[in-house]
Amino acid sequence: MLDMVDISGRDDGNRLVVEIDPKEPVALAELSESFAALDRLYARNYGGESGDARLYVTKLTSGSVIAELAPYAVIMGGLALMDAAVIVADFTKRLNNGFRAFAGLEPPGSTMPAPADAEDLRALAAPMLGKNGSRLGLKSVRIHKSHRDVTAEYEFFEPELNRAALNIDRYVTQPTADLVQEQPRYEPFERKLLLVAQASRAPGKQRGRTGDRGSIPDISDEQLPLYFGKSVNDVKAQMVRSSVNPLAEHAFIVSGYVESAAGVPKNYIITELHDIVAAA
């Protein structure tokens, strides 16, 4: 798994440069799983029957996590840098196309990755999900002794990664044809007034059946199911856990996503609570 390799004598070759910028501290286990998912994606698609071809870290940069990765093969107990010009470019493009397909940036009917690849794409993006302003950068880079050529560069920001993650969750639990046919859309909204019609004191759900319902008049007057994105701050707990019932007397200024199908809002995913105001 993404071992560090001493290639001090080799300053050329092709690299995949991955920049993980969560805009806040991230758990080491979550970061490790993100890179492990990247390694699984590579081994599954480029490792061949033997599975000997792996990704290795050749350079790490501080600040946001920037890892320079190269494909190596295990040969006679040692390592050899593969002739990776085509491999690195194709793998970078594969990652880009996978995220674009699930983020709704490609037209309906686009080819979806295999379910195992989809789950690893979600794990790769996990450190950035639900973190305002976070970003995932992917570059295919050709390194020469005197300079570097960026042959392909892709960027995905938190709203796109969140949409991709939500679609991946749906994709791995239902047939591909259903997902392609329905093509639900997740549109972000910022600082909208939420009127909660009903909510239990149980933890908020991310998906599945829920009795929590509310309306956002700026989007729809219908009372729709409410889901709550996973974050450090338990948004639903801030809204309903009190010695009195705050829902009858208060409204909430929130940000999140509205899921729509065929242009009709179906539910809300609340990711951030900004303020509590007196209901009119």
DSSP string, 160-194: HHHHHHHHHHHHTTS-HHHHHHH--EEEEEEEEEE
**Mean pLDDT throughout 39-47?**
83
Query: Exposed e or buried b for every residue in 239-261, given b needs 16+ CB within 10 A?
Result: bbeeeeebbeebbbebbbbbbbe
* Res 61: pLDDT: 76
Hey, what amino acid is at 205? K
Tell me the C-alpha distance between 54 and 40, whole Å.
9
* Res 218: pLDDT: 93
Bigger pLDDT: 7 vs 139: 139
Q: Using the predicted structure, report yes or no on whether residue 17 has a pLDDT greater than 50.
A: yes
**Mean pLDDT throughout 241-254?**
69
Q: Using the predicted structure, report yes or no on whether residue 3 has a pLDDT greater than 60.
A: no
133: left (phi over 0), alpha (psi -120 to 50) or beta: left
Q: How confident is the model at residue 280 (pLDDT cuts 50, 70, 90)?
A: low
Tell me the C-alpha distance between 275 and 211, whole Å.
23
Hey, what amino acid is at 200? S
Which of 10-14, 53-57, 76-80, 231-235 is predicted with the least confidence, judged by mean pLDDT?
A: 76-80
Give the CA dihedral 184, 189, 193, 194, nearest 10 degrees.
Answer: 30
**What average pLDDT does the structure give for the chain?**
78
Q: How confident is the model at residue 8 (pLDDT cuts 50, 70, 90)?
A: very low
* Res 164: pLDDT: 92
Task: Find out whether 253 and 274 touch, Cβ atoms under 8 Å.
Answer: yes
The predicted-structure confidence for 194-246, as pLDDT tens digits, reads as follows 998 888 878 888 777 888 999 999 999 999 999 887 665 678 887 776 544 55
The predicted-structure confidence for 94-109, as pLDDT tens digits, reads as follows 899 899 988 887 655 5
* Res 162: pLDDT: 92
Chain mean position to CA 169: 11
Q: How confident is the model at residue 84 (pLDDT cuts 50, 70, 90)?
A: low
Task: Find out whether 210 and 217 touch, Cβ atoms under 8 Å.
Answer: no
Task: Find out whether 274 and 191 touch, Cβ atoms under 8 Å.
Answer: yes
